[in-house]
Structure 1
Amino acid sequence: MILEVAILHVKKNQEIEFERDFALAGKHISSTTGYIRHTLQKCVEQSNKYLLLVEWNKLEDHTIGFRESDAYKDWKRLLHHYYDPFPVVEHFEMILTNP
């Protein structure tokens, strides 16, 4: 399992619209082969900062399967104009978990 992590800085005063469009965008990412689940969390200290976590079966499900799909084009159209700066996306794999 691969965990995609992105900190999203949304333009000030656009948080409500972003959250609405993010809910719509969820159907696009979740339709991708290899997608497991995602969560969006809002920062308590900074109202326009979010944490996106997406679980994928393997790295290529995100970097190729999703990013080269029509679903990604719809995701991008709905969300990318909200970011300033554009987020850095990183991928992590589980090394240790506490049972």
Structure 2
Amino acid sequence: MITEHALLPVKPGFEDDFMAAFERARPLIASTTGFLGLQVKRSIETPHHFLLLVSWETVQAHTEGFRGSENYETWRNLLHHLYDPFPVVEHFESIEPAATTY
């Protein structure tokens, strides 16, 4: 499993617009082959920052499957104009051992 991480710097004052647009965009990504789930979190200290965490089967499911789809074009039209600056997206994989006891 791969985790996509993106800090979404929404333009101040557009937080409600982002949240509404994201709810419209959520089914677009969820219908992608290889999509496993997502979480969106809002920063307490910087309320116009949102953290997007998406679980994928593979990096290619995201970069080729979703980003290469018509659904991505709609996603982009719904959301990308709300960011400043544009988010940096990275992919992470778990390292073993997955759990450590302290």
Does residue 71 of structure 1 match 2:71? yes
CA distance in 1, matches of 2:89, 2:38: 14
Structure 1 match to 2:8: 8
Question: Following superposition of structure 1 onto structure 2, how do residues 72-91 of structure 1 map, counting pairs within 5 Å?
Answer: 72-91=72-91
Question: Following superposition of structure 1 onto structure 2, how do residues 1-99 of structure 1 map, counting pairs within 5 Å?
Answer: 1-96=1-96, 97-98=98-99
How many Å apart are 1:77 and its aligned residue?
A: 0.7
Extract unaligned runs of 5+ from structure 1: none
Amino acid at match of 2:3: L
CA distance in 1, matches of 2:13, 2:91: 29
Q: Secondary structure at the match of 1:79?
A: helix
How many residues matched? 99
Q: Secondary structure at the match of 1:76?
A: helix
Extract unaligned runs of 5+ from structure 2: none
CA distance in 1, matches of 2:56, 2:71: 15
Amino acid at match of 2:74: D
CA distance in 1, matches of 2:47, 2:59: 30
Cα-Cα RMSD: 0.9
TM-score normalised according to structure 2 size: 0.94
How many Å apart are 1:98 and its aligned residue?
A: 1.7
Q: Which has the larger radius of gyration?
A: 2
How many Å apart are 1:88 and its aligned residue?
A: 0.5
Superposed CA deviations along residues 33-92 of structure 1, whole A, max 9, x for unmatched, are 000001100000011001000000001000000000001011101000000000000000
